[in-house]
Chain A
């Protein structure tokens, strides 16, 4: 008996929707747009996060850094002078090298020889001391074959300039640099070339000198030096596990490897934040859709007051009257959710195509969208349905 009632009520609502197509279409479009945006934003955020994940993973899986462990670093000996070679001999290592950043307060950088008449020529460029292995490991290219000067046991007074530092110092962006000098701590350094692609590791605005030259320019603690290691693709994790023994077999515990895990946390964080943002926007839109449905339903209850009175006079119970509006809201929401899933998938597909990202079909979201739409529709119709059920039939019949 109850099932027959429910079937009749569904059929009745279908007749109603068919008879008021424009109103039903507006409701469905409203829900479709909001669920569509929700599906699209969640899908796009998912594939964008995956893309970021892939990009970061690719980078993270190739490089990591080795440093001196905090606490023991001050007393521990610095990296062995042949650390680059020791690290590079580990299978799957492509390049390895050291870097130390010198404190700005220790090193003054001038384009011209400082002194009376030189004017204000001090630069704000940072100074870093590196080995050539570091530049190779960081994927930085030099516009001249001068890398050997960075590794010489004899600390040549030479400098490479990041593109930003060269601009600031007024050094031409093309060689030859014969005779071009800059002044560090009032000592002349011959400019031997420019670095490209230095932004990723913060060397774009830096003056780079040989690692062996660091002590001549500033007071450097051993712990300030890091060793960057680049491996074959995907080999970072296994290399990271053995690199400390390769560099300092007698005391590997004084070294620390920082890399892959940090990146993994970053990737997870980026994915989570994107998902949260998208879900927030989607939830806001769903709330708006809910208000739209609720408003339309309240209007429907008012405009159908006479009909409600008639149905009660025919014998419909309060619950039956309420169900009519709940079913109508649920159907509009469900159909809107279905259409929204299609709209969302196509929108996400378009975004992925435009950006050249990979696309994976959001099966769960597509299945969830109509359910979500139905839930939103039913929830939004609850108040109007309750109002309709509470209408006194005798008064409702007088309303027409």
Chain B
């Protein structure tokens, strides 16, 4: 099962237009298999978030090949990329992006509405996702009333409720204390155990130790190891 690659990127390049142009990625190769935990480390400005945006289909690469779930995404149009992102990917951000004026349930429901999940299934799936991150009892709480750790767990629930093949996390533990960091890593590990490929962008070396494979992004390319 772990042999099936869900992400196969070769020679990814990205240069930001500026005077002079700013090359960020030049030749990133990355393979991620089902159920694999991958950590990508790197200093500030190394291009970690740029790589995550490309892997998450939020930003196109300037060159290279990116195959996600056996689909060459560099040739897809906007709609096809949106559809693939909706069905295949889940995101967890450092800033969690929990909508404060909506309840925990409504935050999770956003994802199900986006993928047009059958209505009769939604309540059960929301409940299961919230219970899975230990927020079953906070389903009716407004997002703004949750603590930082709860918000991050809610973000994980929202990311996994759509049953993605790949979970992309950008500094998911950046704002958390040790206990909450451990909680979040456990939840991500649980997803990996269920077959989800988990890619974490991080500064945190504890995450590198937690990962099956750690890479360091340096000079626009990935090197194996935590640097």
* A residues lining the B interface (CB < 8 Å): 1, 4-5, 8-9, 11-12, 15, 19-20, 306-307, 309-318, 320, 392-394, 397-398, 400
Question: Which residues of the other chain, A, contact B58 by a CB distance below 8 angstroms?
Answer: 312-313, 392-394, 397
Question: Which residues of the other chain, B, contact A5 by a CB distance below 8 angstroms?
Answer: 113, 116
Q: Which 9 A-B pairs have CB atoms at the shortest separation, nearest pair first?
A: A315-B86, A8-B113, A19-B101, A394-B53, A310-B97, A317-B82, A394-B58, A394-B59, A393-B58
> Cβ of B125 < 8 Å from any Cβ of A?
no
How many Å lie between the Cα of A330 and that of B9 in the bound state? 43
Are A307's CB and B79's CB within 8 A?
A: no
* Given A314-B86, A315-B82, A318-B78, A400:B95 Cβ within 8 A: yes
Partner of B91 from the list A313, A317, A318, A400 (CB cut-off 8 Å) is: A313
Question: Which residues of the other chain, B, contact A317 by a CB distance below 8 angstroms?
Answer: 78-79, 82-83
20 contacts between A and B (CB under 8 A): A5-B116, A19-B101, A19-B102, A306-B95, A307-B97, A310-B99, A311-B114, A312-B82, A313-B91, A314-B162, A315-B85, A315-B114, A315-B115, A315-B162, A317-B79, A317-B82, A318-B78, A392-B59, A394-B49, A400-B97
B80 shortest CB reach to chain A, Å:
10
Question: Which residues of the other chain, B, contact A15 by a CB distance below 8 angstroms?
Answer: 102, 106
- Kindly state the interface size class of chain B when it binds its partner: 20 to 34
Are B116's CB and A8's CB within 8 A?
A: yes
How many Å lie between the Cα of A39 and that of B74 in the bound state? 54
* Given A394-B53, A397-B93, A1:B82 Cβ within 8 A: no
How many Å lie between the Cα of A393 and that of B78 in the bound state? 12
Q: A12-B113, A320-B114, A397-B95 are in contact. List 15 more A-B contacts (CB 8 A).
A: A307-B97, A310-B97, A311-B110, A312-B58, A313-B85, A313-B91, A313-B93, A314-B91, A315-B82, A315-B85, A315-B114, A317-B82, A397-B58, A397-B93, A400-B95
Question: Which residues of the other chain, A, contact B93 by a CB distance below 8 angstroms?
Answer: 313, 397
Are A20's CB and B113's CB within 8 A?
A: no
How many Å lie between the Cα of A316 and that of B56 in the bound state? 13
How many Å lie between the Cα of A307 and that of B143 in the bound state? 13
Are B110's CB and A314's CB within 8 A?
A: yes
A55 shortest CB reach to chain B, Å:
57
B194 shortest CB reach to chain A, Å:
20
* Given A20-B101, A310-B97, A400-B97, A315:B83 Cβ within 8 A: yes
Question: Which residues of the other chain, B, contact A311 by a CB distance below 8 angstroms?
Answer: 110, 114
Question: Which residues 102-120 in B have Cβ within 8 Å of A in the complex?
Answer: 102, 106, 110-111, 113-116, 119
Are B56's CB and A315's CB within 8 A?
A: no
How many Å lie between the Cα of A12 and that of B111 in the bound state? 11
Are B106's CB and A309's CB within 8 A?
A: no
Question: Which residues of the other chain, A, contact B53 by a CB distance below 8 angstroms?
Answer: 394
How many Å lie between the Cα of A393 and that of B97 in the bound state? 13
What residue of chain B has the Cβ atom nearest to residue A319's Cβ?
B79
